[in-house]
């Protein structure tokens, strides 16, 4: 079985840890790559060898915003915004730029893990 190629774009190390924890017990292999800022995400996405099956993207990023990153992603790659921002303008802009879903990060760790698992099962598995 081919592993799912997942790119997680988030500057919060704790959230990245929870994403890894959430996906550790999935029944299929997942290669997780991480970009800790918007500029690095764009560099990774521009690289010919990086072709993710799914991008989980926070909007509040250093160096370049998540919305800026969205502008450079191949429209055939599903992107789920996973953010603590609940601004309706950001939500609308994200959908205008082609995201398949917009999920607000739960504050409780168990709910966070469940949300990540659901995102990957829904959009990449």
Q: What's residue 90's pLDDT?
A: 92
Spans of all domains in the chain: 4-123
- Over the stretch 52-67, which tens digit does the pLDDT of each residue have? 999 999 999 999 999 9
Tell me the C-alpha to C-alpha distance, in Å, between residue 63 and each of 1, 14, 41, 108: 36, 19, 10, 28
pLDDT in tens, 2-35: 899 999 999 999 999 999 999 998 888 999 999 9
Q: Which is it for strands 30-35 and 79-83: parallel, antiparallel or unpaired?
A: unpaired
Does residue 118 surpass a pLDDT of 80? yes
Cα–Cα dist 101/82, whole Å: 8
Per-residue pLDDT of 70-112, as tens digits, reads 988 888 899 999 998 788 999 999 999 999 999 999 999 899 9
Check residues 124 and 11 and name the one with the higher pLDDT.
11
Q: What is the model's pLDDT at position 125? A: 62
Write out the DSSP string of 70-111: HHTS-TTS-EEEEES---HHHHHHHHHTT-SEEEEPPSSHHH
Instruction: Report the topology of domain 4-123.
Output: Rossmann fold (3.40.50)
Are 66 and 60 a contacting pair, CB within 8 Å?
yes
């Amino acid at each position: 079985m081919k592993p799912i190629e997942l790119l997680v774009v988030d500057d919060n190390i704790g959230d990245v840890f929870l994403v890894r924890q959430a996906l550790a017990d999935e029944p299929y292999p997942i290669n997780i790559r991480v970009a800790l800022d918007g500029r690095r995400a764009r560099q990774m996405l521009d690289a010919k060898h990086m072709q993710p099956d799914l991008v989980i993207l926070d909007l509040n990023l250093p160096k370049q915003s998540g919305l800026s990153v969205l502008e450079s992603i191949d429209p055939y790659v599903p992107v789920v915004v996973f953010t603590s921002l609940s601004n309706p303008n950001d939500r609308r802009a994200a959908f205008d730029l082609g995201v398949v879903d917009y999920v607000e990060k739960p504050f409780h760790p168990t709910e966070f893990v469940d949300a990540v698992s659901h995102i990957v099962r829904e959009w990449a598995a």
